[in-house]
Amino acid sequence: MNRISLIRCALLLALTSAVAQAASEATLQPGQAVNGQAMSAGSTVWHVGLKAGDLVRGRVDGDVSLRLLDPQGRPLRLLIDGQDQPRAFIFVADSPGAYGLRAEPLDGRPGAPFSLRLEQVLARAEQQQSPPRLASPALAELAGQLAQGGDTEAFWNARKAQGTPLVERLPGQPQQRLVTFLWRGAQHNVRMFGAPSGRHEALQRLGTSDVWYASFEVPASTRLSYQMAPDVPPSDDRRVILATTRRDPLNPATFADSSGDAWLSRSRLELPDAPPQPWVAERPGIARGTLERKRLASDELGNTRDVYLYRPAGWRPGAAGQALLVLFDAHAYTRQVPTPTLLDNLIADGLIPPTAAIIIANPSDLSRQQELPPNPRFARFMAEDLMPWARQHGLSAPAARTVIAGSSYGGLAASYLGLMHPELFGNVLSLSGSYWWAKDGEEPGWLTREYVKATPKPLRFYLQSGLFEGPTILDTNRHLRDVLRAKGYAVEAVEYPAGHDYLQWRGSLPCGLVSLIGRPGEASSQACAEYR
């Protein structure tokens, strides 16, 4: 080879080396895509200049792996394993520097073509959650006004005039409404009890304004009561939320407000399509029964409790055709749910026969938790102490016209007592029964499994649950419903857009009574048509 040829070869080698060096030191910018082939040696490394905390997203397409190199060129981690399906990658830079991205061939597939795209490099300061989309047109309009330097005064003045929560129609969904619950002026947080989600819902803050909100799409027939808890102290104990709960000050509709105390009462939401509750209010000019409070001691349980005895007007002990209601949780069913008034009105309307009631109090919160979930000792108290005692006071009826009823744990207890003593209680009225309950160490749904195993009893059922109660209540009530029907029981099961709520139960209790012991006829069949 002559001297000119040698010079040409040297120049070609130098040019090839320079090209290879340039390729091996290529840089990649956000939004840029490159193509290549994965070689066993001399693979190209694309460099990305990063700051500490930068979030990097990208994608590789092709039968290759992708390795991340640290700023010193040392292998840091495998971002993409070419043997797996995922092709998108994401990582965070621990320190500043030029990180490397190197495509590596798979075994048996050298030279496979690939494409690499750097989709995003997001600085730490930009890594914050996007503000939630404002479903409420009224809030979206307010947000626009705030962005232009406006304030919230006109918005709150409108809320004072119209009341809260904010209710808006949904385009193309005539059976639904958008309901936005609001709070003004909290500093740190706001939680809501009784939300349609079934959770202790956290409200969002509208920017840095004094508006806190939570929006829900709900049926136009929704009924619920709720409380708000502003500036809840930080704690792992969810009961701490109760430290600040109160009714909504801009909602004039209240519930359980006999004390007039904003911290004890609740706010009420009843959308226009909610079924009526025509038996709740006292009516002038009708015959009214009497309510007597007595004390009953139990050697079996080792405690003493209040028992309320309601006798309707004209009640005659032992007379034919009369009925009896046995009901748990007297603290609620003599106050939030005015059971004597409900019975007065149902009887006056001719929907049920003359019906007396035994309304049983709990000696304490602890005793309620021990007695109402399936408890053989409590069942013996009911069968051997309470019912004979009530009979001595002139309150009794055949099992076929006796209803055992309750809500939550009380609904669970009613179904258990029906199973254990159908000779006393021929009708079970359960409102949001806690059928998730199980004995320690067992799966949820103990009582439902007991009904599966037991020979069918002469029982009829009315089961009610709320669509806002979540799977713990709603699904377990549906499971019991299906089991009972499969076993041949007569069951009416209804579900409402409501929560675990006495506001709903004061409408469900009378409809359950009409279903189980109502007098035959068109009036009775139509009385609760909207509740079915």
Strand 75-80, strand 64-69: pairing: antiparallel
Q: What is the pLDDT of residues 388-439, one digit of tens each?
A: 999 999 999 999 999 999 999 999 999 999 999 999 999 999 999 999 999 9
Query: For the residues 276-299, what does the mean pLDDT come to?
Result: 96
Q: Are 370 and 364 in contact (CB under 8 A)?
A: no
| Alpha carbon 131 to its chain's center | 23
DSSP lists the bridge partners of residue 295 as 306
Phi/psi at 190 (5° precision): -145, 135
**Which domains occur in the chain, in start order?**
142-270 (2.60.40.10), 290-531 (3.40.50.1820)
Note the pLDDT of residue 121: 94
Peptide bond into 71 cis (omega under 30): no
Closest CA to 148 of 205, 207, 203, 188: 207
- Alpha-carbon span 153 to 159, nearest angstrom: 10
Query: For the residues 186-204, what does the mean pLDDT come to?
Result: 93
Single-letter amino acid, residue 200: H
Cα distances from 404 to residues 170, 214, 317, 410, 425, in angstroms, run 41, 39, 19, 9, 6
Mean of pLDDT over the chain: 91
Q: Kindly indicate the confidence band of residue 18, based on its pLDDT and cuts at 50, 70 and 90.
A: very low
Q: Are 342 and 510 in contact (CB under 8 A)?
A: yes
Quickly tell me which residue has 């079996």 as its tokens: 300
Single-letter amino acid, residue 328: F
Judged against a pLDDT cut of 60, whether residue 265 lies above it is answered with yes
Judged against a pLDDT cut of 50, whether residue 151 lies above it is answered with yes
Judged against a pLDDT cut of 70, whether residue 5 lies above it is answered with no
Task: Work out the end-to-end distance of the chain between its first and last CA atoms, rounded to an integer number of angstroms.
Answer: 102
Task: Give the three-class secondary structure for 106.
Answer: strand
User: Helix 446-453 to helix 409-420 angle, to the nearest 10 degrees?
Assistant: 20
Contacts 24+ apart (CB under 8 A), 420-424: 420/376, 420/379, 420/383, 421/379, 421/382, 421/383, 422/457, 422/458, 422/459, 423/399, 424/382, 424/383, 424/387, 424/399
